[in-house]
Amino acid sequence: MAEHEYLLDVSQLEPPEPLQKALSALDELQAGQYIRLLHRRNPELLYPLLEKRGYAFHTFRTKEPAFEVLIWKKTDQEADTRCQALIKQAWDIKKKKAEAKDTPKLSFEQAPPISIPFRFFLMAPVFGFVAAMVLLFAGPESMDSRWTPEAVSAVHFMVLGFSTMTMIGAMMQILPVVIGTIIPKSRLVSNIVFGLYVPGVVFLGSAFLFRKDILFNSAATFLGLAFSVFIVVVLHTMFTSGVRTSASRAIKLAVISLAVTVAMGVVMVAIFGAHGGVAKHLFATIHLGWGLVGWTGLLIIGVSFQVVPMFQITPQYPIWIRQWLPISLVYLLVLWSLVTYFHQYLDGKNMIYYLSGLLILLLTGLYSINTLILQKQRRRKIPDVTVSFWQLAMVSAILGIVLTAVNIISPETGEYYLLELVIGIVVISGVMQSVINGMLYKIMPFLVWFHLQAKQTTPGVLPNMKEIIRGRRMWIQYWLHLGSITGLAGTVFYPELLFYPAVTLFAASMLLLWANMMTAVWTYQKTVQR
């Protein structure tokens, strides 16, 4: 570097010295050499003189001193190559800086490889089926209350193994559409998360059944790590993307709520292990609030801001719902968590406890009603299984909200155990499973089509979405699902009569969902081989 570069610092000199020095330096210049002139002003008088003498030059604006001028003899090939390279290098750096500043960064890299979302999706009904088996083997007593080991185990197989499993896979998929950037190193991230998450779910589900500390500790370790990686990567990607829409804000809040839910879960394992009393129930209630309303609720809400108006062709959600509802829910959850935890030290339940709880219900209720109204106004009138799943979810949400309100207000009688069970079924199966199930029937066929046409080298007819998963099969599964929710809710009141048929129906719905998803996979493989 030094041999080729003649460094001349004139930034401290007074005129006309800089000019004189520069000109005399030209005479000392050897073949292949160039001058880097450091100057505190733009030496405009120098340029015509250089020009006249057959020298080329290029000026950079820098911080300290203000100007750097490269000077080389026009006829000197070697020096010319060197200087052009330096100029290009500086230009590239400048361009990179400009791009970094130009938020939002936009790559629109189409999508992560199809195997990334699909591995999560295909595992979901498997864990749903496991939940059914846990209940089936334990018999009707498993539904005596929501605290039986089998009920808690089945709930976690559902919310983690089915719902959150799909939601993680879907997040990896939808970020390019929502914020325009793909998750960095998506294959690696997905391998790590999936590899830790699946055993974590198995450990947790069995920990509740067998009450062993080692299982709880393994579950906390595996799930804690899997979620940490997922949450950090997603939040980092979202916060650096620079895109701020109502949907992306709600989704960020959902992921933050997931962090709270997971932290509470890990803390419960650390403090109580396989045991614990009333305090554990309080922790569990707060954990459940953040998991249901925060993580699941806000994610559904955020996604719906986009999905409902666009895919079902309805009017937009009102601005107050898009702007204020998600953040209000988070503040209310914080308040509600604090009073729920501390009211054990107070005499009786205080006003804030009722108020925060009921306000959360009111807001989610208004959201659900609004969604139903929008769907009623949809311009695309043709029967659509995904829309039916959404409507089922919203009706279930309203039912769950009303029952929860009754549960909060009414004094704790012997009956409240039953009410809690019904709420659990309506919310987990009726709301969460319905939305996810319905969305899978849009996402999976589309992704198969999308990746097939991206792979397509020779022109030929690709299967359309309705040939990838047949409409009739999806509708049969919809009715099985509806039957299983109704049956499970009825089981709470008529356990002897309804338990086995309802749980069997639930298992059958999971199996058919899996089979329907597999037809998409088979169509993909068959078409790729062709």
Partner 1 sequence: MDMAVAISELMTQHHQECDGYFASAENAVAQGKWDEAAALFDQFENALILHLRREEDILFPAFETETGQTGGPTQMMRMEHEQMKALTQNLKSACAARDKDGYLGNSETLLVLMQQHNMKEEQILYPMMDRALDANADTLVSEVTSLD
Examine residue 449 and tell whether it contacts partner 1 (CB under 8 A): yes
Examine residue 106 and tell whether it contacts partner 1 (CB under 8 A): yes
Q: Centre a 10 Å sphere on the Cβ of residue 371 and count the other Cβ atoms it contains.
A: 23
Q: 140 and 499 in contact (C-beta within 8 Å)?
A: yes
Residue in 53, 93, 108, 324 binding partner 1, rule: CB under 8 A: 108
DSSP state for residue 243 in the 8-state scheme: -
Examine residue 211 and tell whether it contacts partner 1 (CB under 8 A): no
Scanning 114-122, 147-155, 276-284, 305-313 for contacts with partner 1 by CB under 8 A, the matching segment is 305-313
Closest CB to partner 1 among 259 and 439? 439
Examine residue 278 and tell whether it contacts partner 1 (CB under 8 A): no
Examine residue 247 and tell whether it contacts partner 1 (CB under 8 A): yes
Q: 66 and 37 in contact (C-beta within 8 Å)?
A: no
CA distance 234 to 230: 6
Tokens of 157: 């197989």
| Number of residues located near partner 1, criterion CB under 8 A | 34
Q: Centre a 10 Å sphere on the Cβ of residue 168 and count the other Cβ atoms it contains.
A: 22
CA distance 252 to 58: 47
H runs (alpha helix) in 77-156 = 77-101, 115-138, 149-156
Please report the DSSP string for 345-393 in residue order.
GSSS--HHHHHHHHHHHHHHHHHHHHHHHHHHT-S--S--HHHHHHHHH
Residue in 23, 31, 85, 177 binding partner 1, rule: CB under 8 A: 177
Scanning 123-131, 253-261, 415-423, 446-454 for contacts with partner 1 by CB under 8 A, the matching segment is 446-454
Enumerate residues 474-513 that contact partner 1 by CB under 8 A. none
CB of 457 to partner 1, least distance (A): 15
Encoded one letter per residue, x for contact with partner 1 by CB under 8 A and - for no contact, window 115-144 reads: ------------------------------
Residue in 28, 102, 141, 213 binding partner 1, rule: CB under 8 A: 102
CA distance 407 to 400: 10
Examine residue 107 and tell whether it contacts partner 1 (CB under 8 A): yes
CB of 476 to partner 1, least distance (A): 18
Closest CB to partner 1 among 304 and 484? 304
Examine residue 39 and tell whether it contacts partner 1 (CB under 8 A): no
Largest Cα–Cα distance of the chain, in whole Å? 105
Closest CB to partner 1 among 281 and 470? 470
Examine residue 379 and tell whether it contacts partner 1 (CB under 8 A): yes
Could you tell me whether strands 55-61 and 67-73 are parallel, antiparallel, or unpaired per DSSP bridges?
Answer: antiparallel
Give the chain's count of helices (H) and strands (E). Answer: 19, 4
**Which of 507, 526, 522 is closest to 162 using CA atoms?**
507
Residue in 142, 190, 257, 306 binding partner 1, rule: CB under 8 A: 306
CB of 491 to partner 1, least distance (A): 36
CB of 189 to partner 1, least distance (A): 22
CA distance 222 to 102: 38
Q: Which residues bind partner 1 (CB under 8 A)?
A: 95, 102, 104, 106-108, 110, 176-180, 243, 245, 247-248, 306, 310-311, 313, 379-382, 442, 445-446, 449-450, 453, 464-467
